[in-house]
Each structure stands twice: as C-alpha cells, then as structure tokens.
Amino acid sequence: MILVAKKLLLSKLLAPEKMSEKMYMIDDHIICSVCGMASDALILVERGRQYCQDYMYTFKEPIPVERLVEQLSNTIHLPTQYGSSRPYGTSILFAGFDKHGKFQLYCADPSGNYASWKAHVLGANNANGISFLKEEYKDEQNLQDGLKLSLRTMCKTLDATHPKPEDCIIQSL
C-alpha cells in the first residue's frame, strides 16, 4: 500500500521543517493522507488517534480500519446537521492493514461519506488522476510497479511539466 502526496511549501521564507503536512500515522497499521484545510485535518487525525487508543484499551487489539473510518466519518458528518457550525473542510485517504480485511484503502469526504477503493486520487486535478488510474491500474502489482504508477498518476495531476523528486512525500505501509 503506497500513498504519495505533493509537498506544499506555503512560503519561500518558511523553514522547511514547518511545511504543511499531508501524511499522518494514525496507528501502527493505519496511515492517512489529507487534502483541504490543514487545521481541520489535524483535529480529525488527533480524534482518529484517540479512537485507536480507546479501542485498544477496550478490546486489547488494534482497531479494524473500516471501524476507524466509520467513526471518523460520523465525526465529520455531525457538523453538517447544524446551521450553527462549520463543516470540516478536508478529505482524507486512509490506508491500512488488519486481520479482517487485509490491505484496505478508504476515502472520506467533507460530507461524511466514505468508500473503499483499490486506488484513488484526492486534491486538485483529481479527475485527471482518476481517469488515468482507470486506464492503468492492475490488480496484480508489486510494490515497485505500484510506486511507479503512483508517481505517474501524481505527474498527471500536477501543473508542473517536470516535477522534482524532492516535491514528493511517499509513505508505504
């Protein structure tokens, strides 16, 4: 399972270690990539970490990936029910491994809907990336082929004609 994201440098004056994060480790078996408002994403990542700890404390085993995604999607959906609160402005792509479903990929959007995917793209120009994945994705791929496909898909979504390797964040599980 591979997640690839573009590093986002908010300002040339900002220190490199303070660049906006796009990938987070939620638990030992779950990572996520976020798109949208970073402050909302941080809140949801921390809430996800808390759900993982609560589940481990209660059941003495790691939380199933779909259970975590379901709980966070309910959290995301809640503010859409009230006129006095602002909805979360972030989409999250979860990648995880558990004994129930093996490797899994889920995407939760700002409305609180979530779905399971074999491969998916978030962010600007995601339509280009999704159409590219529809043509190029194969079920039987090794890690090397998956990494190449991920980087080629990212190149299809970027505005730059020659992306630099240092502009990429690659996380595997």
* 70-125 pLDDT per residue, tens: 999 999 999 988 888 899 999 999 999 988 778 999 999 999 999 999 999 998 88
**Residue 123 in contact with residue 75, Cβ under 8 Å?**
no
Burial class (CB in 10 A: 0-12, 13-18, 19+), 135: exposed
Mean pLDDT on 34-57: 95
| Band of pLDDT at residue 58, cut at 50, 70 and 90 | very high
Q: Kindly report the backbone phi and psi dihedral angles of residue 130, in degrees, each rounded to the nearest multiple of 5, phi listed first.
A: -65, -40
**What is 2-7+20-172's CATH number?**
3.60.20.10
Please say whether the dihedral angle defined by the alpha carbons of residues 41, 44, 49 and 50, taken in this order, is positive or negative. positive
d(CA 66, CA 48): 12
Helix-helix angle 143-157:126-136, to 10 degrees: 140
| Band of pLDDT at residue 12, cut at 50, 70 and 90 | low
Residue whose C-alpha is closest to residue 139's, from 170, 108, 118: 118
pLDDT tops 60 at residue 41: yes
d(CA 5, CA 36): 13
d(CA 34, CA 37): 9
Q: What is the pLDDT of residue 14?
A: 60
Residues facing residue 132 across a β-bridge: none
Contacts of 123 (CB under 8 A, 6+ apart): 6, 35, 157
Extents of the domains making up the chain: 2-7+20-172
